[in-house]
Chain A
Amino acid sequence: MITLENVLFKWHAKQPEPTINITKLDIDQGEHVFLHGPSGCGKSTLLSLLAGVTVPTQGNIQLLGKAINQLSNSKRDRFRADHIGYIFQNFNLLPYLSPIENVTLGCQFSKQRQKNALKNSAAIAAEASRLLTALGLNDALQHQAVAQLSIGQQQRVAAARAFIGSPEIIIADEPTSALDTQNRQAFVKLLFEQANAANSTLIFVSHDETLQTLFTRSISLVELQGGTDATH
């Protein structure tokens, strides 16, 4: 499902130590993986690699059986649009779009995700609304200006955007760091629900190890780095 082999990444050629150095990483379809590590250990870089925004200097990254490092730039963009939902740490939403529009944006660049979304609802906006309701945002909130939503509500809109059109892979980059402890757990549980419903693989990055217990699998990036085999 997700396989990294001998992946090396340097931002520039003269860098003495690679930012990413992973001998082997396998993640199965539908797994909920907790990826943790202190800041500066290369988490964001790894996520950029997994999202196909950057390509490794060396090695192979296979997503859904495709070696995405061998795809052209535009094919990688299309792959990301079709198969990956991404949740940022914060400021996830475009301030000039309504929550519903922010969610539908998730499948606006992908025919496949539009098709998937229409399997669940009659229209894409209806599917967005369904997801937002499932994530606990009522109708009134769904049409409010983004700036009037709390951070927690914004993150749920971001989650809905990542999930719309049921992409196979959901990448969440410290999505709970702006939330308080109670909300964190609730948010993670909502992510699980949706990931299970769509049978999506969830890669959840955080330095907050209290969340670790909720996950079936936990990977320490520090241990993963430098050639430790993380196959399970």
Chain B
Amino acid sequence: MLLIKLATKSLLNRKASALLTLFTIAISVMLLMSIERVRVDAKSSFSNTISGTDLIVGARTGDIQLLLSSVFRIGHANNGVSWKSYQYISEQRGVKWAIPMSLGDSHKGLAVLGTNKDYFEHYRFAKKQPLSFSQGHEFNHLFEVVLGAEVANTLGYQLGDEVVIAHGMGNTSFHNHDDNPFKVVGILKPTGTPVDKTLHIPLAAIDAIHGGHAHQHEAAQADANDHDHDHDHDHDHDQHDDVDLVGTPKQITAFLLGFDSPLYTLQVRRNINQYKDEALLAIMPGVTLRELWEMLSIVEKILLLFSIVVVLISLLGMLTSLLSSLNQRRRELAILRSVGARPWHIFTLISVESLLITGLGCIVGIALFYALMLLGADYLQSHAGISLNIALLSSYELMLLAAIMVAGFIVGLIPATRAYFYSLADGMSIKI
């Protein structure tokens, strides 16, 4: 107790350098904790991107490429899946639902996804959470669009606005089809996944933008249903409650499958991968997500390495400041010796100081870390899709802190040992 009191008072007496050292450690702790928290949460956000889907099926490419193009809207799928194959596979035994996905078009750089209504019903993210609407409802007509949360947010769209979809990716597309405006009928709640950055339109509408014969198609549909014939451009959709939103496109980019029981997954996957009529690939999203994360783990490891180096540098800073103060404190040590302090008391005193600095540094670092998390959570959510978990420290993080404390203690042993020998050698004869 006495030594802790002495160490505290001695440190307070050297406030400036002690505080500086403390802050260096605090900042490094904050950095390490933040990087680790973002890393862990990025990993979970990442694996939360899609769930509840048993298989993703696309043209034969690499597993990761298919995952990237279908779920993350990154890169292009070179080939598609023929509509015939889609229909065949989706009618297989055990298939509970199939969601066709047609990608490749964009609106102001954001992906446009052509799909069916099952998407809103069966698509799951994170821990099997369904999509839900913050406003409006799913599309019921050909030229209606449902926006992801971020699309609505960044572009400032509201229900009832008209949106023009371009052919191809990118902001400046040569094929702007001004004649095909889509009406915003729904806005999804944020999910922290690429869904937020997606515009969802009926699959049949994709054909409409490309071929421009959607109206014929819809008209044909209308014919078939024996509804009133209206070939007018400003078609009145309200009368078509069961209008075909899927149509019969030649091909789609990929499709998602859900089974009645997960037991079907492996068998259907094998069947698809050996499908004779077309070269197809079926992946299990969870497995491929993990593979993808493994690929990214080198970046993750480098980040971790950097933050560990920063912590080490801060501890070396503490070492420097303790060592350089030691020479000026030989007098203090001699006084302590004169009142009966043993060399190990001196040793403990200096060790306690380094522990106090490291400990307080950790505490301040944690405070800074939480402040940073609170400030940065919204930004990361909206810009990187990483939902930060502002929870108590995990056991892993506590372990990191313990490791820092141990490292601080070990570093502190160096000046402590030095002080120990000073106090043996100097005895009472130190004259400063």
Nearest CB in chain A to that of B423: its residue: A53
Given A96-B10, A97-B9, does the pair A109, B345 have CB atoms closer than 8 Å? yes
Chain B residues proximal to chain A, CB less than 8 Å:
2, 6, 9-10, 12-13, 331-332, 334-343, 345, 427-429, 431-432
Whether A44 contacts B428 by the Cβ 8 Å rule is yes
A78-B341 Cα distance, complex, nearest whole Å:
8
B residues near A6, Cβ cutoff 8 Å: none
The 8 A CB mask of A107-128 against B (1 = contact, 0 = none) is 0111000000000000000000
Whether A77 contacts B429 by the Cβ 8 Å rule is no
B residues near A201, Cβ cutoff 8 Å: none
Nearest CB in chain A to that of B338: its residue: A86
The minimal Cβ–Cβ distance linking A118 to chain B, given in whole angstroms, is 17
Most A CB contacts (10 A, CB to CB) among B2, B336, B337, B339 go to B339
The minimal Cβ–Cβ distance linking B412 to chain A, given in whole angstroms, is 19
Q: Assess whether A24 is interfacial by the CB under 8 Å rule.
A: no
* Nearest 7 A/B pairs, CB to CB: A81-B340, A53-B427, A96-B13, A109-B340, A86-B338, A96-B9, A77-B342
A residues near B345, Cβ cutoff 8 Å: 109
Whether A91 contacts B340 by the Cβ 8 Å rule is no
A residues near B331, Cβ cutoff 8 Å: 91
Whether B335 contacts A48 by the Cβ 8 Å rule is no
Whether B428 contacts A48 by the Cβ 8 Å rule is yes
**Of A47, A53, A94, A108, which is within 8 A of B335 by CB?**
A94
Nearest CB in chain B to that of A106: its residue: B339
Most B CB contacts (10 A, CB to CB) among A45, A78, A92, A96 go to A96
A72-B119 Cα distance, complex, nearest whole Å:
83
Nearest CB in chain B to that of A80: its residue: B340
The minimal Cβ–Cβ distance linking A222 to chain B, given in whole angstroms, is 19
Whether A88 contacts B341 by the Cβ 8 Å rule is no
A89-B334 Cα distance, complex, nearest whole Å:
12
Whether A91 contacts B427 by the Cβ 8 Å rule is no
Whether A82 contacts B340 by the Cβ 8 Å rule is yes
A44-B427 Cα distance, complex, nearest whole Å:
10
Known: A51-B338, A109-B339. 14 other contacts (CB 8 A): A47-B429, A51-B427, A77-B337, A77-B341, A78-B342, A80-B340, A86-B338, A86-B339, A93-B335, A94-B6, A94-B335, A108-B2, A109-B342, A173-B428
Q: Assess whether A38 is interfacial by the CB under 8 Å rule.
A: no
Given A45-B429, A109-B345, A173-B428, does the pair A94, B340 have CB atoms closer than 8 Å? no
B residues near A227, Cβ cutoff 8 Å: none
A51-B427 Cα distance, complex, nearest whole Å:
9
Whether B340 contacts A48 by the Cβ 8 Å rule is no
Query: Can you sample 5 A-B contacts with CB below 8 Å?
Result: A44-B431, A73-B343, A77-B340, A81-B340, A106-B339
**A 16-60 contacts with B by CB, 8 A:** 44-45, 47-48, 51, 53-54
B residues near A95, Cβ cutoff 8 Å: 13
A residues near B339, Cβ cutoff 8 Å: 81, 86, 105-106, 108-109, 161
Whether A110 contacts B428 by the Cβ 8 Å rule is no
